[in-house]
């Protein structure tokens, strides 16, 4: 085993602090990675503060982080897909049973035995898995992804969660070339949705409650921006969108976005509001409209997404911070005070 520096929370009310954790000895199927950057996802904050305790209670100490980019520093004897020196990524998953129908269909995120990058049972060392707020990781090679070298690595890190979360439902919907696509919300997820929709060739409209985001939405690739608080403006766009991606995690009115859809149009939810939200059946019946949800993607699709980003030079808009500012970043995240994702420069941990 190898002792590794990491930032961990000792309890739901504790700040993240420097700690030391153990990483397993490299096996024949493993890849050892020096972490260079780790994105900060809102789910990191939820988990650290045990806000999802009814679904997935947090085990402490908790080391978050599942938007990881690093350099390979060691490979097991069976590993051929990557070599020492390669730039790689690790997302939300580090293992699955590899035997069930979900794994065979390359949707490992739905495997009943999926192992998440942090706060999941660790079959190697016992306890739970520890994430990317650390200087070093050991990961099964089947869950290690190749990151195009020419991408900005700080901006590439959030692709491993925010990127695949927004790419996957759009890719699954079908050919978006020339279609009208709406993106609800312009935050960490929404800004990636805009970039992907534009790259797919769609006519892109951002729906936001904030007039201050109008200019930024256009800069990110939107063709149009609508203030969703303006009822008249929303009515003008009724029955006109093929696909709408809803990235909002706060309570909001789904019916106002269902009305935007054309016949057989789709509203996909990737945000996770805490409370159930009512849906009018009549809004669905008149137009055969579809409402569904989407998680991340499987490993195969995530690699496809990274390759697509390499071809189109797509990365997240990030603010790079040292790990020592992570608690301040969490407080700012609660205020939506970031454009649009924090990315931790993990060399600051090695220098600590």
Residue pointed to by tokens 């069976």: 78
Q: How many CB atoms neighbour CB 178 within 10 A? A: 10
pLDDT at 54: 82
For range 197-211, the mean pLDDT = 96
Residues 121 and 200 in one domain: no
Residues 108 and 230 in one domain: no
Report d(CA 346, CA 323) in Å as an integer.
6
Same domain, 115 and 92: yes
Query: Is 302 contained in some domain?
Result: no
DSSP calls for 274-318: SS-----HHHHHTTT-EEEE-----HHHHHHHHHHHHHHT----E
CB atoms < 10 A from the CB of 331, how many?
10
Residues near 284 by beta carbon (within 8 Å), at least 6 away in sequence: 258, 290, 291
DSSP string, 55-118: TSPPPSSB-----EEEEEEEE-TT--S--TT-EEEE-SEEE--S-SHHHHTT-GGG-TT-EESS
In a domain, 298, yes or no: no
Strand partners, 253: none
Give the chain's domain count: 2
Query: Which pair of structure tokens corresponds to residue 52?
Result: 């999802």
| Structural domain includes residue 323 | yes
Q: 105 and 209: one domain?
A: no
pLDDT in tens, 153-169: 999 999 999 999 999 99
* pLDDT recorded at residue 172: 94
Name the residue range of residue 107's domain: 2-161+316-350
Q: What is the pTM of this model?
A: 0.95
Tell me, what's the pLDDT at 352?
61
End-to-end CA distance of the chain: 22
190, 317 contact by CB (below 8 A)? no
- On whether both 149 and 61 belong to a single domain, the answer is yes
The CATH code of the domain that includes 15 is: 3.90.180.10
Q: Each residue of 255-290: pLDDT tens digit? A: 999 999 999 999 999 998 878 889 999 999 999 999
306 domain-assigned: no
The closest alpha carbon to 341, from 193, 240, 211, belongs to 193
Rounded CA separation 123/151 (Å): 34
Are residue 153 and residue 8 in the same domain, yes or no?
yes
The larger pLDDT score, comparing residue 218 to residue 352, is at: 218
């Amino acid at each position: 085993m190898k002792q590794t520096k990491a930032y961990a929370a000792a309890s739901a009310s504790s700040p993240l602090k420097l700690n030391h954790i153990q990483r397993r000895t490299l096996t024949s199927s493993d890849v050892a990675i020096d972490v260079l950057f780790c994105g900060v996802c809102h789910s990191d904050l939820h988990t650290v503060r045990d806000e999802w305790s009814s679904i997935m209670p947090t085990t402490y100490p908790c080391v978050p982080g599942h938007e990881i980019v690093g350099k390979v520093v060691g490979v097991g004897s069976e590993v051929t897909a990557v070599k020492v020196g390669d730039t790689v990524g690790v997302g939300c998953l580090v293992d699955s049973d590899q035997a069930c129908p979900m794994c065979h269909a390359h949707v490992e995120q739905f495997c009943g035995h999926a192992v998440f990058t942090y706060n999941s049972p660790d079959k190697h060392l016992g306890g739970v898995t520890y994430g990317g707020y650390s200087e070093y990781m050991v990961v099964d090679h089947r869950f290690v992804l190749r990151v195009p070298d020419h991408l900005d690595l700080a901006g590439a890190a959030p692709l491993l969660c925010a990127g695949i979360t927004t790419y996957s439902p759009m890719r699954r919907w079908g050919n978006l070339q020339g279609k009208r696509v709406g993106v609800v919300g312009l935050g960490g997820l929404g800004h990636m949705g805009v970039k992907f929709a534009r790259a797919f060739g769609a006519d892109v409209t951002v729906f936001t409650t904030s007039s201050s985001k109008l200019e930024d939405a256009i800069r990110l690739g939107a063709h149009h921006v609508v203030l969703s608080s303006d009822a008249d403006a929303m009515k003008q766009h009724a029955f006109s969108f093929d696909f709408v991606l809803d990235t909002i995690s706060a309570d909001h009115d789904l019916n106002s976005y269902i009305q935007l859809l054309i016949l057989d149009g789709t509203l996909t939810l990737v945000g996770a509001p805490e409370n159930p939200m009512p849906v009018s059946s009549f809004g669905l019946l008149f137009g055969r409209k579809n409402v569904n949800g989407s998680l991340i993607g499987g490993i195969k699709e995530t690699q496809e997404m990274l390759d697509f980003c390499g071809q189109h030079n797509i990365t997240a808009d990030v603010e790079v911070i040292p790990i020592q500012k992570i608690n301040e970043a969490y407080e700012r995240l609660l205020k939506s005070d970031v454009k649009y994702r924090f990315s931790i420069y993990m060399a600051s941990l090695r220098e600590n």
